[in-house]
Amino acid sequence: MIDDAHNFKLAGINKKNKGSDKHSDLIKNHINILEAVIPAIKKVSKYGTERQIKNEINKRIRECQNILGMWGDRRSGILYFEKSINFLEVKDKNKFTVEHVIPVSATVQRYIDGDPIPIEKLIFNPIALITTESDKQLREKGLAKSGHDFDFPFRRYKQVEIEIKDLHGTVINCENFSIEDHFELIHKVPELQEVINEINDTKSIHTIQKTL
């Protein structure tokens, strides 16, 4: 049986363990921690300071994506899939790999270099589920952490002929599908848009770059 649409849902939250059952609260908490930790790293670190800062930003982005179910084992919040993947089998860790369409290391470096995009928007950059064979292909071609295009993030996949569909089962054009198209898709997913709205409704939390 092949399902023609992904059963999208945000990852569940145990309020007793997390303190809140709102995804936006937990994401804002990570961003606020990051805002506090970076100055502390700069103050006390004597060696490898930039690497320590990069690692912290990388960690917080992944933690927030895990909260949403976009990263890690739950996978219920992923928006993009290799065309051949059966939506009913997405949790099979032996067959499939969760992959950042724009490598997180590249995103973090661009952010540190002064890209004006706020950290909370970087959290929602595209993530895809691909087969382990395709993941191996990317690595063999030297494209696991390079060859990315920030404006047209899926072009890296086109180089090795990986075809991608969205959560509705619609195959996207990896050559021309832009980062704007990605965020337009997010706007059409009510659960994700609600999280974004709740984050944006709070006081500005875009001050992290000022500490770099």
Q: How far apart are CA 115 and CA 101, in angstroms?
A: 18
Q: Are 132 and 161 in contact (CB under 8 A)?
A: no
Q: How far apart are CA 74 and CA 192, in angstroms?
A: 16
Give pLDDT tens digits along the chain (212 positions).
345 788 899 998 887 777 788 999 999 999 999 999 999 999 999 999 999 999 999 999 999 999 999 998 889 999 999 999 999 888 888 899 999 999 999 999 998 988 878 888 899 999 999 999 999 999 999 998 888 899 999 999 999 999 999 999 999 999 999 999 999 999 999 999 999 999 987 644 455 555 66
Q: Are 82 and 129 in contact (CB under 8 A)?
A: yes
Closest by alpha carbon to 12, among 69, 59, 55? Answer: 69
User: How confident is the model at residue 2, as a pLDDT?
Assistant: 47
3-class state of residue 194 by DSSP: helix
Angle of helix 23-44 relative to helix 190-200, nearest 10 degrees, comes to 50
Kindly state the helix (H) or strand (E) to which residue 129 belongs, with its residue range. Answer: strand 127-131
User: How confident is the model at residue 204, as a pLDDT?
Assistant: 46
3-class state of residue 92 by DSSP: coil
Give the strand pairing for 80-82 and 164-166.
antiparallel
